[in-house]
Structure 1
Amino acid sequence: MEPIIYIDRKTGKRETEEVYGGEMLRFVYGKSMIGSLLRTLSAKVPFFSWLYGVCQKMPWSRKKILPFIKKFNIDVDDFLDRAESYRSFNAFFTRQLKQSCRPISDAPVVMPADARYYFYQDIAAANGFIIKGKKFSLANLIGDSSLAERYAGGSMVMARLCPTDYHRFHFPCDCIPGKPLRINGYLYSVNPFAVKQNIEIFTENKRFVTELKTESLGRVLYIEVGATNVGSVIQTYLPDATYEKGAEKGYFSFGASALILLFEKGRIAIDSDLLEATEAGYEMRCLMGQPLAAADL
């Protein structure tokens, strides 16, 4: 399989992603029958994700932390706590960062997480997008065809969090969030290796949909998508309370995961450098709090 190339927004350079468990992903999402069987079992049998999650919470799992940090060159200066203080690998994985390390932009809409992103000013560019004969459907993603109509012609942001990323997610704008709607599903990987095999992963995986009420941006849909080994999406916010952009919404337990933001038509104008990267076929790695879009008034 081809290497994963993305653009780092901070430097503007193209980088090659070092994939955690890359060889296994290539095998599982390859063409072998054994790989196909493992893919089905890991995604569709909850016991495997549960067992893997339990292992990451065991005290002995903390032995993996320092080698993991070294291998993937993770900046420990960003951590709120010392790397040696985490009692399990999952505790490290769900770590908090120093606020000073993720300053919040003055832009009306900011990045909700550290992730690799695709950006669509018009959802039509992605809705109905075909990979290997399979379409991405906005209605299937939301689970409500009438609600999907509200976002027709609107904007979409897709964020892929890999295991090496900071895994807490935040509000992209000032808002009053409602209660999250849970849509049960599987736990397929959202790595590009997997998505190229099946774009319907986003509409088949376990996910949570939250409506954000805003003063000037209309109603925004915030969707968390569980992926490989992510059986737990933890919401830390209080529904119907008022939050400022950059405030924490929740976090994913160990694994890969994704976020999707939907905006009504004519509400935002996504930054040009972000759109250009997507149009060129590249994900762009952005950090939580960086500017995403201006209000399209």
Structure 2
Amino acid sequence: MNTMVSPNAPIEFYNRYSGEREIESIYGEGFLRWAYGNPLGRLTVSLAVKRLWFSRWYGWRMDRPSSQSKVAPFISEYGLDSEEFAEPVERFKTFNEFFYRKLKGHARPVDPDPQGAVFPADGRHLAIADIDRAETFYIKGQRFDLQAFVGDSALAQKYAGGSMLISRLCPVDYHRFHFPVAGLAGEARELPGSLRSVSPLALRRRLSILWENRRVLTEVESEAFGPVLVLEIGATCVGGIHQTYAPGMVTKGMEKGYFSFGGSCVTTIFPKGAIRFDADLLEFGAQGLEVYARMGERCGILGD
């Protein structure tokens, strides 16, 4: 993917582990392309799919005992490593139990450098070094509205000119999210909204989905980076954004919560000059290209 990418182009990303650019295998690709690339599909999204009842209904389906039959085929089709799972596959009684599974403690080691921040989730990560000056968000020409995103003009001013990491989770990913930094975590605050897809297939056409969707915002006061904002964003078929932490002191890599079924993303915002993202994130982020990496790995270090 580059700055002149077509909205209908395949989703390309850089894989940190293979060192190669790869094409994403999209769960429900046919529906997504119809829903966001076809006029009738976009009307359907507007009338039904973005509505909360649709995602709650689909989440209810994934909580039914009959959904258990989807687990083994899903693991096989997408090549998931069940050896990482904290529980044996046969113990998942529904697809949702499998979807928000926990992993063994050693499966996601956390970078120990106190001056480093880590990815808050497994997924494809888009780094924006300066929110105010960025010209590329998945496709050239789209501007990010920080005030609308955080829902507060004073908070937006506090993070003006800051750096942002958008961590996009696909249905095939581990769906628990974690704190990217250590510090004093405040209360989680919900910002209401609709539930559209956060796939680039949708965001290339309408970046405002990021601040129109339901969001949950938490501010963490960290010793190294100062205040850091963490926002979970709901999406189509996400039955819920669940917080498992208690406000207070948290450690880097500590579990913050989990998503019920569906694609989703976590966004981390640092104040101006607080972080220097790793070189691969800066290189590919400048091209509007995501980088695949896992929770706990370093994404950047304290800014100069």
TM-score band w.r.t. shorter chain? over 0.9
Count residues with an aligned counterpart: 295
User: Where does 1:34-73 land on structure 2 (aligned, <5 Å)?
Assistant: 35-73=41-79
Alignment pair present for 1:278 and 2:271: no
1:133-162 deviation line (CA, Å, top 9, x unaligned) = 763201100011121111112111111111
Given candidates 194, 211, 226, the residue that maps to 1:203 is 211
Given candidates 25, 28, 32, the residue that maps to 2:35 is 28
Pick closer, same or farther for the CA change 1:124–1:93 going to 2, 3 Å. same
Q: How much has 1:10 moved relative to structure 2?
A: 1.6
Unaligned runs of 5+ in 2: 1-7
Alignment pair present for 1:168 and 2:176: yes
> Does 131-140 or 47-56 show the bigger shift?
131-140
Q: How much has 1:131 moved relative to structure 2?
A: 5.9
CA distance in 1, matches of 2:167, 2:134: 14
Q: Match of 1:268, as an amino acid?
A: I
Q: How much has 1:262 moved relative to structure 2?
A: 0.7
Unaligned runs of 5+ in 1: none
CA distance in 1, matches of 2:158, 2:49: 31
Given candidates 121, 130, 133, the residue that maps to 1:125 is 133
Given candidates 138, 143, 153, the residue that maps to 2:161 is 153
Q: How much has 1:224 moved relative to structure 2?
A: 0.5
CA distance in 2, matches of 1:42, 1:257: 18
CA distance in 1, matches of 2:56, 2:166: 26
Q: Match of 1:189, as an amino acid?
A: S
Q: How much has 1:280 moved relative to structure 2?
A: 2.8
1:228-272 deviation line (CA, Å, top 9, x unaligned) = 111310000001x21110100000000010111111112111111
Match of residue 82 from structure 1: 88
Alignment pair present for 1:10 and 2:10: no
1:79-109 deviation line (CA, Å, top 9, x unaligned) = 1111121000000000001111111112320
Q: Match of 2:82, as an amino acid?
A: V
Match of residue 189 from structure 2: 181
Q: Match of 2:218, as an amino acid?
A: T
> Does 267-276 or 61-70 show the bigger shift?
267-276
Pick closer, same or farther for the CA change 1:178–1:84 going to 2, 3 Å. same
Are the aligned partners of 2:160 and 2:272 in contact in 1 as well (CA < 8 Å)? Answer: yes
Q: Match of 1:110, as an amino acid?
A: V
CA distance in 2, matches of 1:183, 1:43: 19
Q: How much has 1:287 moved relative to structure 2?
A: 0.2
Question: Which runs of structure 1 show a deviation greater than 4 angstroms over 4 or more consecutive aligned residues?
Answer: 127-134
Match of residue 106 from structure 1: 112
Are the aligned partners of 1:134 and 1:200 in contact in 2 as well (CA < 8 Å)? Answer: no
Question: Structure 1 vs Structure 2: percent identity of aligned residues?
Answer: 43
Q: How much has 1:129 moved relative to structure 2?
A: 6.0
TM-score (norm 1): 0.95
Q: How much has 1:281 moved relative to structure 2?
A: 2.9
Q: How much has 1:202 moved relative to structure 2?
A: 0.4
Are the aligned partners of 1:128 and 1:137 in contact in 2 as well (CA < 8 Å)? Answer: no
Q: How much has 1:40 moved relative to structure 2?
A: 1.6
Pick closer, same or farther for the CA change 1:42–1:252 going to 2, 3 Å. farther
Given candidates 259, 281, 294, the residue that maps to 2:266 is 259
Q: In structure 1, the residue corresponding to 2:120 is in which secondary structure?
A: coil
TM-score (norm 2): 0.93
Pick closer, same or farther for the CA change 1:127–1:14 going to 2, 3 Å. closer
1:165-213 deviation line (CA, Å, top 9, x unaligned) = 0000000111111011111000000001100110100010000110101
CA distance in 1, matches of 2:15, 2:133: 23
Q: Match of 1:247, as an amino acid?
A: M
Q: In structure 2, the residue corresponding to 1:125 is in which secondary structure?
A: coil
Task: Output the aligned Cα RMSD.
Answer: 1.7
